[in-house]
């Protein structure tokens, strides 16, 4: 897993083979962030990474200057891995990165029901087999977690389509990785 750009550009992290989570490919991540720069200025933006998995998106957001970055991941090992990666960045010149980030071990749906903070940017990369994926845009957009004009990106498989959603902006596909972009 590699950080594409920003303060920590080029940093690599080896993901344990035992992990169930699949990180967003570098190709897909680089391309979607190129698209997103037309919608949002990441520097200083408050960001939320749902289903954080390996932390690939969290680390990219921190590298691009987002603060704070809240990551939500239920799996204990994945949560620990993300925390370790953030600690490594801070120990190698990422001064105060841990104060700009918070990694929560929690269920995403429970977190969203109780979250009182608003974000400029929300990214969700749920397991592609998650049965709630079709309802996820309404769940996120209806919870008041996005600031007005905030951007929500949902990574999903090819079997999901969101073009008819009232907040839908655009869809991008990079190989088998699909992103739907929404605006609050």
Q: Determine what percent of the chain is predicted with pLDDT higher than 70.
A: 97
pLDDT at 63 over 90: yes
Q: What is the pLDDT of residues 102-124, one digit of tens each?
A: 999 999 999 999 999 999 999 99
Q: How many CB atoms lie within 10 A of CB 93?
A: 9
- pLDDT for 98 equals 67
Look at 150 and 97; give whichever has higher pLDDT: 150
**CA 145 – CA 176 distance, rounded (Å):** 28
93: pLDDT confidence band, cut at 50, 70 and 90?
low
Query: In the chain, pLDDT over 90 holds for what percent of residues?
Result: 80
pLDDT for position 105:
97
Has this prediction a pTM greater than 0.85?
yes
Q: Is the pLDDT of residue 74 over 70?
A: yes
């Amino acid at each position: 897993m590699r950080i594409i750009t920003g303060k920590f550009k080029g940093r690599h992290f080896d993901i344990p083979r035992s992990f169930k989570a699949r990180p967003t490919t570098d190709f897909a991540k680089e391309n979607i962030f190129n698209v997103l720069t037309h919608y949002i200025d990441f520097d200083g933006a408050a960001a939320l990474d749902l289903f954080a998995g390996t932390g690939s998106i969290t680390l990219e957001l921190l590298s691009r200057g987002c603060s704070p970055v809240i990551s939500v991941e239920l799996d204990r090992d994945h949560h620990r891995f993300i925390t370790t990666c953030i600690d490594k960045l801070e120990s190698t010149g990422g001064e105060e990165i841990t104060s700009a980030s918070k990694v929560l071990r929690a269920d995403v749906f429970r977190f969203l029901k109780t979250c009182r903070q608003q974000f400029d940017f929300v990214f969700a990369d749920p397991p592609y087999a998650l049965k709630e994926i079709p309802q996820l845009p309404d769940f996120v957009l209806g919870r008041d977690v996005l600031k007005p004009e905030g951007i929500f990106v949902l990574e999903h498989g090819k079997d999901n389509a969101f073009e008819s959603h009232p907040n839908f902006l655009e869809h991008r596909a990079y190989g088998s990785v699909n992103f739907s972009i929404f605006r609050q």
